[in-house]
Amino acid sequence: MLTSAYDQELRPAGLQATQFALLAILEGHAGASQDQLANWLATEQSTLSRNLQGLVRKRWVSTVTEPGVRAARYEVTPAGRTALNRARPGWKRAQARVKRALGADWDSLWPLLRKLALLRP
């Protein structure tokens, strides 16, 4: 339900919540590997791979290759930054909407989500 609230606000900008989250993480961690991204986002490798490939196809993310390094690394392209910036107002609206709906429970949500993320194998 949370994802759909964000997706609804991000739709006019042409992004989904999963795409926004991935772009935002990569914006702050250029050159991150897929393993790092999976860990930070608590996402399965196969799901992350599909999401990354979709962003690469849109030219919002590029693959960075380094000589002698087998693992691909990723970074946000200028087009990806534009998409991310276009979507930020929608993200903020979704945040405000969720905060209003949860009221005082909002402050309890993030610690609980962190605990759930630790359950990931």
Taking only the tens place, the pLDDT of each residue in 32-50 is 999 999 888 888 889 999 9
Token pair, residue 34, equals 């897929």
Q: Spell out the residues 6+ positions from residue 8 whose beta carbon is closer than 8 angstroms to its own.
A: 94
Task: List the one residue out of 1, 77, 63, 6 whose CA is nearest residue 33.
Answer: 63
- Indicate which CATH number applies to the domain containing 90: 1.10.10.10
Q: Which pLDDT score is estimated for 79?
A: 97
Taking only the tens place, the pLDDT of each residue in 52-73 is 999 999 999 999 877 777 778 9
pLDDT at residue 112 tops 80: yes
Token pair, residue 108, equals 């309890």
Q: What is the spatial distance between Cα 73 and Cα 110, in angstroms, rounded to a whole number?
A: 28
Q: Which pLDDT score is estimated for 120?
A: 61
List the domain range (segments joined by +) for residue 8. Answer: 2-118
Number of domains in the chain: 1
Q: Which pLDDT score is estimated for 121?
A: 57
Taking only the tens place, the pLDDT of each residue in 97-109 is 988 888 888 888 8
Using an 8 Å Cβ cutoff, are 40 and 26 in contact? no
**This prediction's pTM:** 0.84
